[in-house]
Amino acid sequence: MTEKRKAVALISGGLDSLLAARVMMDQGVHVEGINFYTGFCVEGHTHAIRKKDRARPKRNNALWVAEQLGIKLHMIDIIEEYKDVVINPKHGYGANLNPCLDCKIFMVNKARAWIDANGFDCIITGEVIGQRPMSQRRDTMPVVARESGADDRLVRPLCAKNLPATRPEQEGWLDRDRLHAFSGRSRKPQMALAAHYGFEDYAQPAGGCCFLTDKQYSVKLADLWATRGKREYELDDIMLLKVGRHLRPRPNYKLIVGREEGENRFMEGYRKRFVHLLPTSHSGPLVLLDGEPDDSDIELAARLTARFSQGRDAEYVTVEVTGVDGASRALAVKPYPAGQVPADWYL
């Protein structure tokens, strides 16, 4: 009896990787999943922050996919290693600060190292030719296979018939005729295949799983790099870019203004690292001040804090200002007029 062939599937939590893994399982291949956490993933933490999102089902889609398939899922923290992908992408960025091609090469390379270490035969992705403008094109998909080192051990079951035969096909243990020839941006073939397998409840289209594809997020990250004078970040930096309104009234500092209770609670964990402001005469947001402020900056920051409080129409609002040394003082300030906050202060 021959040993069962083994494949690891890159599981994002979306429909395509679910289907790709399922197609392989149909041919008797043992499949396990692998999921990489970069710090920019929309999955996971975002629903924990905002109160309005707390009512939504708290489901990790990659784990949910693994459960649907009945496979193991190995979740890998790549936060530190991924920085070089974001900061120095060899193949450049997409429409925003999304280094999609370098990202795919990096992840497939990590998966290749994983299969080598664990005695698996090949890697599966849910890629479809023409579906993504950067990483899933006819000319870039071979680049992913080559530069990741996966070469002919990278199987894309959803569009395999449009690509050269992979090693499993050449070796005869994967039937090319039972793979697919999807191409383009239409989701209909995937939806039909999902219906064929009886998958009804799945996460909606791929691509929305990374904050780096988001224009506003990328603007805030670019601002972070520009004002610090270096293209670096820590996990806390990129987490804070996901919460609050970000305003830069002066080049030497910006304000992060909590928009609601969930964000305020999340930001409380960062109070000791930032000068922070909180209205005390009226209810209002926690505001973190990121930068090197002087006294006039503090006054302006307090007026802006008052503007976002319930006292925005009051003559004066008392704002408590606390330094990183823990020392607090109270300032009575006139709220900044709502209509006069310059639009270009908002990041």
Residues that bind another protein (CB under 8 A): 35, 37, 41, 43-45, 47-49, 54, 57-60, 62-64, 66-67, 70-77, 239, 269
- Residue with smaller CB distance to another protein, 56 or 188: 56
Rounded to the nearest whole angstrom, what is the least distance from the CB of residue 198 to another protein in the complex? 19
- Residue with smaller CB distance to another protein, 58 or 178: 58
Helix (H) or strand (E) holding 336: none
3-class secondary-structure state, position 237:
helix
- Residue with smaller CB distance to another protein, 42 or 143: 42
Rounded to the nearest whole angstrom, what is the least distance from the CB of residue 256 to another protein in the complex? 17
> Can you spell out the DSSP letters for 76-141?
EE-HHHHHHHHHS-TT---SSS--HHHHHHHHHHHHHHHHHHHT--EEE----BTSBTTTBSTTTH
Judge contact between 275 and 324, C-beta under 8 A: yes
Rounded to the nearest whole angstrom, what is the least distance from the CB of residue 272 to another protein in the complex? 12
Judge contact between 100 and 132, C-beta under 8 A: yes
Rounded to the nearest whole angstrom, what is the least distance from the CB of residue 77 to another protein in the complex? 5
Judge contact between 76 and 35, C-beta under 8 A: yes
Rounded to the nearest whole angstrom, what is the least distance from the CB of residue 75 to another protein in the complex? 5
Rounded to the nearest whole angstrom, what is the least distance from the CB of residue 44 to another protein in the complex? 4
CA torsion through residues 143, 144, 150, 151, sign:
negative
Helix (H) or strand (E) holding 255: strand 253-257
- Residue with smaller CB distance to another protein, 52 or 72: 72
- Residue with smaller CB distance to another protein, 77 or 232: 77
Q: What is the DSSP letter of 19?
A: H
- Residue with smaller CB distance to another protein, 52 or 329: 52
